[in-house]
């Protein structure tokens, strides 16, 4: 229970902040608000301690803290006083506003980036392909984390390997070798904080400002931004129903020295297209011929629902041109910030040395906990469960779109991934997708035009609708809301 005392001071033992800091904050607030003025005497430490019901040392520590911050001065034998040279409350408020609102130095150009706003419960979000938080294996993860911290905390909570926890690298290497056809060991891998961190490290290792990097004409803006941040000049490669058009990359390489090509061959982002084998071979050939680093962003590999899984480009790379990037953001949770890079070893060493001076290392305790989930088979079981659930959600979303929006939106079930790619507009009749999305927000459903992914910012008459975040009933409701938000005809 809080205790009320002179000038409304309150300290509460149940609060997390230590008592002496609570007291110091209370007195500083009283000075700021003008309830205590310059030169005012504070009560003696014994009196203050008695009136608050705290130990005298607590009061002495609070006064010391205030003196160190310049709020009060102690005068030998006469007591503690509010400092004389405090700015007036009004002046200090103005000064605060000035420092908060303006910057007195030059900034580099801003970069585009996505935001992840929180929406109130009951609002359905179709812009994301992230896991449903209700399905996360939090109990298993918590158990593993606790076990690891108790057993190995003293070894893990120190500076460690820039490349990440050896157990997790081993688990990842085994998974990549057995399920994805890569011939890698733990030493060919670096664990990152999500694929975004991987892309940043790769960009720093490859790009000298002014270098040309090719990206897909439709792609994730945050991925492009990582390369812009490193000073790359970006050029776009068109995307068709078979993924990135490798012929166009080859033509581009005829005119520019292309340092790297960032590509999503497995489920093209955002169109979900799977790149066929012949085009994959062509891409590896063009990359080897022009010495282009192929950055394979394989962000949702586990979620393939039809037929045999398609192996990554990296599994067929004999020329050492592919830098393979994976993530646990879709498999487990994006907030874990766990991803990885598999690449020729000298390149892994290079990005490890960049990490040494940017981030030093990742969260080794969490990495070790996830390594346990790999080793116990829990992660594989979780992925299997999620695959069944997401497949059913995909079918529910496709059915709902056909039922509710059949005249306006055409959609095919994608063979894999976390979202559908839906064409908007029928009989050549254009639809203002931005206006529709704005009305959708009022109906408590969030979607947006695929223009958000376009390199040139031009309108794209498609939507990418994510199906992983919500269950079948919620998806049906979300699509009904989309239909309600359509313009009247
Ligand atoms: C294509 C693609 N690449 C990379 C990322 C970054 O993912 P993360 O950094 O969480 O691994 C995302 C996130 O949505 C993505 O869609």
Ligand 1 nearest-atom number relative to CA 219: 1
> In this predicted structure, what is the pLDDT of residue 34?
82
Q: Kindly give, in sequence order, each residue whose CB lies less than 8 Å from that of residue 146, ignoring residues fewer than 6 positions away.
A: none
420 has which bridge partners? 465
The answer, yes or no, to whether the previous bond of 336 is cis (omega within 30 of 0) is no
Supply the residue whose CA is at minimum distance from atom 3 of ligand 1: 299
Supply the residue whose CA is at minimum distance from atom 12 of ligand 1: 299
Cα separation, 452 vs 217, in Å, equals 11
CATH number for the domain running over 124-133+382-484: 3.90.1150.10
> In this predicted structure, what is the pLDDT of residue 420?
97
Considering only CA atoms, which of 276, 281, 273, 218 is closest in space to residue 452? 218
Cα separation, 219 vs 455, in Å, equals 7
Domain ranges in the chain are 6-82, 124-133+382-484, 136-376
> In this predicted structure, what is the pLDDT of residue 93?
53
Task: Give the DSSP H or E segment for 82.
Answer: strand 79-82
Ligand 1 nearest-atom number relative to CA 193: 9
Domain 6-82 indexed as CATH 1.10.3720.10:
no
> In this predicted structure, what is the pLDDT of residue 96?
54
Q: In degrees, to the nearest 5, what angle opens at C-alpha 371 toward C-alphas 369 and 375?
A: 120
Considering only CA atoms, which of 466, 193, 475, 166 is closest in space to residue 328? 193
> In this predicted structure, what is the pLDDT of residue 32?
82
> In this predicted structure, what is the pLDDT of residue 13?
83
Ligand 1 nearest-atom number relative to CA 327: 11
Helices 246-255, 277-290: inter-axial angle, 10-degree rounding: 10
> In this predicted structure, what is the pLDDT of residue 307?
77
Q: 408-426: buried (b, 16+ CB within 10 Å) or exposed (e) per residue? A: bbebebbbbbbbbbbebee
Ligand 1 nearest-atom number relative to CA 199: 4
Parallel, antiparallel, or unpaired for β 339-342 and 189-192?
Answer: antiparallel
Kindly give the confidence (pLDDT) of every residue in the chain, 489 residues in length, as a single tens digit, with 9 standing for 90 and above.
333 345 668 788 888 788 888 898 889 888 888 888 888 999 999 999 998 889 999 999 899 888 888 889 988 888 999 988 875 554 455 455 555 567 788 888 877 777 788 888 899 999 999 999 999 999 999 999 999 999 999 999 999 999 999 999 999 999 999 999 999 999 999 999 999 999 999 999 999 999 999 999 999 999 999 999 999 999 999 999 999 999 999 999 999 999 999 999 999 999 999 999 999 999 999 999 999 999 999 999 989 998 777 899 999 999 999 999 999 999 999 999 999 999 999 999 999 999 999 999 999 999 999 999 999 999 999 999 999 999 999 999 999 999 999 989 999 999 999 999 999 987 667 789 999 999 999 999 999 999 999 999 999 999 999 999 999 999 999 999 999 999 876
Task: Assign domain 136-376 one CATH number from 3.40.50.300, 3.30.70.100, 3.40.50.720, 3.40.640.10.
Answer: 3.40.640.10
* CA of residue 195 to ligand 1 center, whole Å: 6
* CA of residue 340 to ligand 1 center, whole Å: 12
> In this predicted structure, what is the pLDDT of residue 117?
81
What residues are in contact with ligand 1 under a 6 Å CB criterion? 194-196, 220, 223, 264, 269, 297, 299, 327, 329, 334, 339
């Amino acid at each position: 229970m809080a205790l009320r005392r002179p000038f409304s001071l309150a300290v509460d033992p149940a609060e997390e902040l230590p008592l002496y800091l609570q007291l110091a904050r209370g007195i500083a607030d009283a000075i700021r608000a003008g309830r205590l003025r310059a030169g005012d005497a504070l009560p003696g430490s014994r009196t203050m301690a008695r009136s608050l019901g705290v130990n005298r040392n607590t009061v002495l520590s609070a006064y010391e803290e205030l003196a160190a911050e310049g709020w009060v001065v102690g005068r030998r034998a006469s007591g503690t006083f509010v400092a004389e040279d405090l700015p007036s409350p009004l002046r200090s408020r103005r000064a605060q506003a000035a420092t908060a609102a303006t910057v007195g130095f030059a900034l580099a150009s801003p970069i585009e980036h996505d935001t992840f706003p929180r929406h109130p419960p009951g609002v359905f979000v179709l812009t994301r392909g992230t896991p449903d938080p209700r399905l996360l294996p939090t109990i298993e993860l918590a158990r593993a984390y606790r076990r690891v911290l108790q057993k190995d905390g003293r070894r893990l909570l120190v500076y460690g390997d820039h490349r990440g926890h050896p157990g997790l690298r081993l688990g990842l290497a085994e998974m990549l070798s057995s399920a994805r056809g890569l011939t890698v060991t733990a030493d060919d891998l670096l664990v990152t904080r999500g694929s975004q961190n991987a892309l940043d490290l790769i960009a720093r290792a490859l790009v000298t400002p002014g270098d040309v990097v090719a990206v897909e004409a439709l792609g994730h803006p945050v991925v492009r931004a990582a390369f812009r941040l490193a000073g790359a000049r970006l050029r776009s490669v068109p995307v068709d129903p078979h993924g990135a058009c490798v012929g166009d990359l080859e033509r581009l390489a005829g005119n520019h020295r292309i340092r790297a090509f960032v590509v999503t061959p497995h489920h093209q982002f955002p169109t979900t297209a799977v790149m066929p084998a012949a085009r994959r071979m062509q891409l590896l050939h063009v990359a080897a011929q022009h010495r282009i680093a192929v950055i394979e962003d394989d962000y949702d590999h586990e979620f393939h629902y039809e037929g045999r899984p398609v192996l990554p480009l990296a599994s067929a790379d004999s020329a050492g041109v592919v830098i393979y990037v994976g993530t646990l953001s879709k498999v487990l949770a994006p907030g874990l910030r766990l991803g990885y890079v598999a690449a020729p070893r000298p390149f892994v060493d290079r990005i490890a040395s960049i990490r040494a001076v940017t981030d030093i290392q990742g969260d080794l305790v969490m990495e070790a906990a996830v390594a346990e989930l790999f080793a116990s088979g829990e992660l594989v079981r979780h992925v299997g469960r999620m695959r069944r659930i997401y497949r059913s959600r995909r079918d529910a979303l496709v059915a709902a779109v056909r039922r509710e929006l059949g005249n306006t939106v055409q959609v095919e079930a994608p063979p894999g991934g976390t979202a559908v790619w839906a064409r908007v507009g029928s009989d050549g009749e254009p639809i203002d997708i931005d206006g529709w999305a704005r009305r959708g927000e009022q109906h408590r459903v969030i979607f947006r035009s695929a223009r958000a992914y376009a390199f040139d910012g031009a309108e794209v008459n498609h939507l990418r609708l994510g199906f992983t975040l919500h269950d079948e009933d919620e998806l049906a409701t979300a699509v009904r809301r989309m239909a309600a938000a359509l313009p009247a005809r």
